Structure 1
Amino acid sequence: MRGITSIGHVAIKVKDLDASLDFYRERLQFPEMLRLKNEDGSTWLVYLRITDDQYLEIFPGAENDRAPGWNANGVNHMCFIIEDLDATAERIKAAGIKLTAEIKQGLDGNRQAWIEDPDGNRIELMEMHPDCLQFKAIAELRKQRQSA
């Protein structure tokens, strides 16, 4: 759709804000950019930086202890692009985060590993292979645009 240029942020609702901030801000090292407060002074959301124009919004006060299961309606997982998956996986393990699936090659040709946040939100860590299906599809799309 014309006019949409990228994903700006992903917003998640969490049960324990402190545990989520420890996970995302301290362990994954996403810097806190800002907090928005409710009229009573409580935190409405915390805005964390993934890149200069991609963010994670964390809203406290979730009703459930865990995110819906793999087959539930809604967002299935988040995916973070990783430059060096082996080094990142080691850093994540050293930060006390367990890989829920070891590094493997996905059907798209990319290398991936999986983790979960404290609320059970599934996170894919993906190292894009230069010959992956996504890059092939983008090249084909660009080729079609040029010939049109």
Structure 2
Amino acid sequence: MGEQVKGLAHVAFNVSDMDKAIQFYQDVLGFEKAFDLKNPKTGEPWIVYLYAGGNQFVELFYGGVNYQEYKDENIGFSHTCLEVGDIHEIADRIVKAGWVLDSQVSQGMDMNWQCWTHDPDHNRIELMQMEADSLQYQFLREHNLL
């Protein structure tokens, strides 16, 4: 990776119900609320940042109103993938919290374990447990990035 780009800093979503979104990301997935920002023009709540590990955050914007249904042929955003330490533990936690798994735990073509869910606004989320024999891990090892 070039020296100018260090990595992904955050992913941002417009949400229809901030309380539901925070409950999902914080209570179900385990993110920590980092801080919130007020709109500089109005002083009203504007953005909530949730800490996602490393130098990464999830940024939630108030006021989403126009839901766009995901379709495989859409151009643009597809999903967010979160790396997890134990795919079965997070899948169980999601179900026990009353949320839906869109697909059960399975091994992907890249050799990582994965399952899928979605947030309260139907943004697709892949949960992935990276395996030592996965294609991603092989790349990282070959490039001395581990």
TM-score by length of 1: 0.87
What is the total number of aligned residue pairs between the two structures? 142
Matches within 5 A, 1:29-108: 29-38=30-39, 39-66=41-68, 68-108=70-110
State the alpha-carbon separation in 1 of the partners of residues 111 and 143 from structure 2: 18
Q: Which runs of 4+ in 1 moved over 4 A?
A: none
- Unmatched 5+ residue regions in structure 2? none
State the alpha-carbon separation in 2 of the partners of residues 105 and 56 from structure 1: 26
Partner of 1:15: 16
- Alpha carbons 2:29, 2:90 under 8 Å: kept: no
- Alpha carbons 1:35, 1:46 under 8 Å: kept: yes
Partner of 2:111: 109
Partner of 1:124: 126
TM-score by length of 2: 0.89
Q: What amino acid sits opposite 1:31 in the alignment? A: E
- Alpha carbons 2:45, 2:62 under 8 Å: kept: yes
Q: Aligned Cα RMSD in Å?
A: 1.6
Cα offsets for 1:71-104 (capped at 9, x unmatched): 3222210011011111111111111111000011
State the alpha-carbon separation in 1 of the partners of residues 106 and 140 from structure 2: 23
State the alpha-carbon separation in 1 of the partners of residues 119 and 17 from structure 2: 11
Larger relative helix fraction: 1
- Unmatched 5+ residue regions in structure 1? 143-148
Which structure's CA Rg is the greater one?
Answer: 1
State the alpha-carbon separation in 2 of the partners of residues 46 and 125 from structure 1: 22
- Identity of paired residues, percent? 37
